[in-house]
C-alpha cells in the first residue's frame, strides 16, 4: 500500500516510519523545509527512542521518503493521513483546526484521483464532516472518502505503542475507507491488536474521552496525595492498593506536579468546548482542568516551604524539564510554571535535562543550564526533581548532599524515599508521603 503522511512531527514521523516498517511505501510531507532537510540528512528533528534507526533502515529499503511537495507526496498514494498539529486556540481553548483545514485545502487541489483521507490528528467531533465539505468545495475528485483514525501513542514509547497498540480505532462511514484501513493495519493483526470500526464521529470523540479519563486519573491521585499528606498516609501505597484492582488498573496513578504535555491540557480544554457547544455539561472534566491548573501553580510553594518559606535569594537546582522522560517535548511542561514562579519569588534556578535543553532554553529565559545533575545541585539550597528521567533514579545522594548548600530534596515524582535521602543527610520532601513522619510540604 502506498501512503502519504501530511505532517512529520511527533505523530506523523513515528507513524510514517512504522507504516514503512510494516512494508508499506510511505512518503512523509511537511511544510517545514528545514525539518525535511534535517531528516534527509539523517538527523531526527525530535528525540524519540529508536526512531533514528527505524527511519534510516526504511529509507535504505526504499520504503520511506520525505518531501515538502504535497503533489509529489501523494503521487502514488491510496491513503493520505493528516497528522498536523491541533493546538489549543488562543482565547477560548478550542482545538485550532487551521493547520488541518489548510492541509485539506492543499490536498484537494493536489489530488488527481479519489483517495482515502484519514485524520490522525486529534480533532473535535464533526471535523471529519467539515473535511468532507472542504474537499467537495475545493473540487477533490468524486469518490474521495474521509475517515478518522485517532492516534494513541505516547511520546517516549511511541514506536512500541504504534507497533503493539492496545487497540486501533477506525471511524469510517463507507466500505472503501474501512477496507483500505483494514489493509494498512493488517500487519498488526498478527499481533492480535484489536481493531474497532466505528462511525466517524464516534472515533473522533473516543480519542478525547480516552485522554480526559487518563487526565482524570492523574488529578484523582494528586488530590489523594494531598489527603495523604494531611492524614499521615502514603500515596504510593494507596496507588498500589487500588491499582492492583483490575477494574482500576495501576497506570496513571503516580502523584506528581500535575499533567502537562502536548495532549492532555489541550484535549481536555477542547472536549469542554465541544460539550459547551453541544449544550452538555461535563462537570468532571471541568473540575479536572481546574484541579490540574491549581496544582501546577502550587508547586513553587512546595519548594518555598522546603527552603524555609521564602524563595528570595535562594539557589534552586531543577532536575528534568520536559513534560515526561524520554522525550524532548516541552509543550505545557509542569516545569515551566514552576520555574517561572521560582524566578518571580526571587530564586536563582539552575536546571539540567538530559535532552530537553534546546527546546527549553527559549521558554525559560533567566535560568542557567547545568551539564549534569551534580552540577545542577552544586550550591543549591534545594534540589527539585521535576521529571523522572531514569538517570535521576540512581544519583549518588552522598555526592549530591556534599555539593549542595542546603538539605532539601524536593522530589515531585517520588523517585527516592525518606530513608535513602536521610542516609545522605538530605531532607526528603516527597508528594503524598505522609506516613511514618515522612516530611511533606
Q: Which are the catalytic amino acids?
A: 263
Helix spans in 232-372 (H): 235-243, 264-278, 283-306, 335-344, 357-360
Which of residues 116 and 235 has its CB atom nearest to ligand NAD in the complex? 116
For residue 308, what is the DSSP state? Answer: T
- Please choose, out of 26-34, 133-141, 345-353, 382-390, the segment that lies near ligand NAD by the rule CB under 6 A: 26-34
Taking the complex as a whole, how short is the minimal distance between the CB of residue 269 and ligand NAD, in angstroms?
12
In the structure grid, which three cell numbers stand for residue 125, read together? Answer: 467531533
* Contact flag: residue 322 with ligand NAD (CB under 6 A): no
110 binds ligand NAD (CB under 6 A): no
Would strands 195-198 and 168-171 be described as parallel, antiparallel, or unpaired? parallel
As a residue count, the chain comes to 441
Give one DSSP letter per residue of 66-122, joined into a string: EES-HHHHTTT-SEEEE----PBPTTT--B--HHHHHHHHHHHHH-SS--EEEE-S-
On whether the CB atoms of residues 208 and 267 are closer than 8 A, the answer is yes
Pick from 436, 429, 48, 49: which is nearest to 255 by CA? Answer: 429
The alpha carbon of residue 317 and the mean position of all alpha carbons in its chain are separated, in whole angstroms, by 24
Q: Out of 25, 35, 200, 418, which residue is the one contacting ligand NAD (CB under 6 A)?
A: 35
Residue nearest to ligand NAD (CB): 9
**x/- map, 144-183, ligand NAD, by CB under 6 A:** -------x-x-x----------------------------
- Neighbour order of strands in the sheet with 348-352: 368-369, 348-352, 315-319, 382-385, 408-411, 427-429
* Alpha carbons 2 and 80: distance in angstroms, whole number: 9
Residue of 103, 221, 306, 349 that binds ligand NAD (CB under 6 A):
103
| Segment holding 384, helix H or strand E | strand 382-385
Q: Which is nearer to ligand NAD, 6 or 426 (CB)?
A: 6
Which stretch, 82-90, 340-348, 352-360, 369-377, contacts ligand NAD (CB under 6 A)? 82-90
384 counts as binding ligand NAD under rule CB under 6 A: no
134: left (phi over 0), alpha (psi -120 to 50) or beta: alpha
Nearer to ligand NAD, 29 or 319 (CB): 29
CA distances from 271 to 95, 122, 186, 200, 277 (A): 9, 11, 31, 16, 10
Report the residue from 57, 71, 99, 298 that binds ligand NAD according to the rule CB under 6 A.
99
Least Å distance between CB 95 and ligand NAD?
A: 8
Site for ligand NAD contains 6 (CB under 6 A): yes
Query: In whole angstroms, what is the distance from residue 186 CA to residue 175 CA?
Result: 16
Any contact of residue 435 with ligand NAD (CB under 6 A)? no
Stretch that binds ligand NAD, among 81-89, 132-140, 174-182, 350-358 (CB under 6 A): 81-89
Would you count residue 69 as binding ligand NAD (CB under 6 A)?
Answer: no
| Part of the chain binding ligand NAD (CB under 6 A), chosen from 100-108, 234-242, 342-350, 380-388 | 100-108
Q: Which is nearer to ligand NAD, 218 or 400 (CB)?
A: 218
Residue 106 touching ligand NAD (CB under 6 A): yes
Say whether residue 8 binds ligand NAD (CB under 6 A).
Answer: yes
- DSSP 8-state code for residue 411: E
> Site mask, ligand NAD, residues 225-264, x = CB under 6 A?
-------------------------------------xx-
Q: Does residue 74 touch ligand NAD according to CB under 6 A?
A: no
Please report, as ranges, the residues that interact with ligand NAD according to CB under 6 A: 6-12, 29-32, 35, 83-86, 99, 102-103, 106, 121-122, 151, 153, 155, 262-263
Amino acid at each position: 500500500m502506498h501512503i502519504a503522511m501530511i505532517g512529520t512531527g511527533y505523530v506523523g514521523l513515528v507513524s510514517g516510519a512504522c507504516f514503512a516498517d510494516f512494508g508499506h511505501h510511505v512518503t512523509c510531507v511537511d511544510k517545514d523545509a528545514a525539518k525535511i532537510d534535517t531528516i534527509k540528512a539523517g538527523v531526527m528533528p525530535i528525540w524519540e527512542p529508536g526512531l533514528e534507526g527505524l527511519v534510516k533502515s526504511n529509507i535504505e529499503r526504499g520504503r520511506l521518503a520525505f518531501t515538502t511537495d504535497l503533489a509529489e507526496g501523494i503521487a502514488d498514494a491510496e491513503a493520505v493521513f493528516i497528522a498536523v498539529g491541533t493546538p489549543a486556540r488562543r482565547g477560548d481553548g478550542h482545538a485550532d483546526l487551521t493547520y488541518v483545514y489548510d492541509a485539506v485545502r492543499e490536498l484537494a487541489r493536489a489530488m488527481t484521483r479519489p483517495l482515502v483521507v484519514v485524520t490522525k490528528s486529534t480533532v473535535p467531533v464533526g471535523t471529519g464532516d467539515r473535511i468532507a465539505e472542504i474537499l467537495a468545495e475545493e473540487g477533490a475528485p468524486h469518490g474521495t472518502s474521509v475517515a478518522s483514525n485517532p492516534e494513541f501513542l505516547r511520546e517516549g514509547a511511541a514506536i512500541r505503542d504504534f507497533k503493539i497498540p492496545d487497540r486501533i480505532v477506525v471511524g469510517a462511514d463507507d466500505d472503501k475507507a474501512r477496507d483500505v484501513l483494514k489493509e494498512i493495519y493488517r500487519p498488526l493483526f498478527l499481533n492480535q491488536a484489536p481493531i474497532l470500526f466505528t462511525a466517524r464521529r464516534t472515533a473522533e470523540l473516543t480519542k478525547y474521552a480516552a485522554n480526559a479519563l487518563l487526565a482524570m486519573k492523574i488529578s484523582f491521585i494528586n488530590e489523594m496525595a494531598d489527603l495523604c499528606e494531611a492524614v499521615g498516609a502514603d500515596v504510593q501505597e494507596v496507588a498500589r492498593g487500588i491499582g492492583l484492582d483490575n477494574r482500576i488498573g495501576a497506570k496513571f496513578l503516580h502523584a506528581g506536579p500535575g499533567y502537562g504535555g502536548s495532549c492532555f491540557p489541550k484535549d481536555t480544554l477542547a472536549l469542554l468546548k465541544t460539550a459547551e457547544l453541544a449544550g452538555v455539561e461535563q462537570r468532571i472534566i471541568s473540575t479536572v482542568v481546574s484541579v490540574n491548573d491549581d496544582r501546577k501553580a502550587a508547586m513553587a510553594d512546595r519548594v518555598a516551604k522546603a527552603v524555609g518559606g521564602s524563595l528570595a535569594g535562594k539557589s534552586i537546582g531543577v532536575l528534568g524539564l520536559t513534560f515526561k522522560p524520554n522525550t524532548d517535548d516541552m509543550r505545557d511542561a509542569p516545569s515551566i510554571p514552576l520555574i517561572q514562579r521560582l524566578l518571580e519569588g526571587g530564586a536563582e534556578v539552575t536546571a539540567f535535562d538530559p535532552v530537553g535543553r534546546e527546546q527549553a532554553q527559549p521558554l525559560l529565559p533567566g535560568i542557567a543550564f547545568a551539564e549534569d545533575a551534580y552540577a545542577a545541585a552544586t550550591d543549591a539550597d534545594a534540589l527539585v526533581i521535576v521529571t523522572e528521567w531514569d538517570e535521576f533514579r540512581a544519583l549518588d545522594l552522598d555526592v549530591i548532599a556534599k555539593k549542595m548548600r542546603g538539605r532539601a530534596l524536593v522530589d515531585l515524582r517520588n523517585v527516592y524515599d525518606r530513608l535513602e535521602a536521610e542516609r545522605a543527610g538530605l531532607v526528603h520532601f516527597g508528594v503524598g508521603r505522609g506516613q511514618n513522619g515522612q516530611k511533606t510540604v
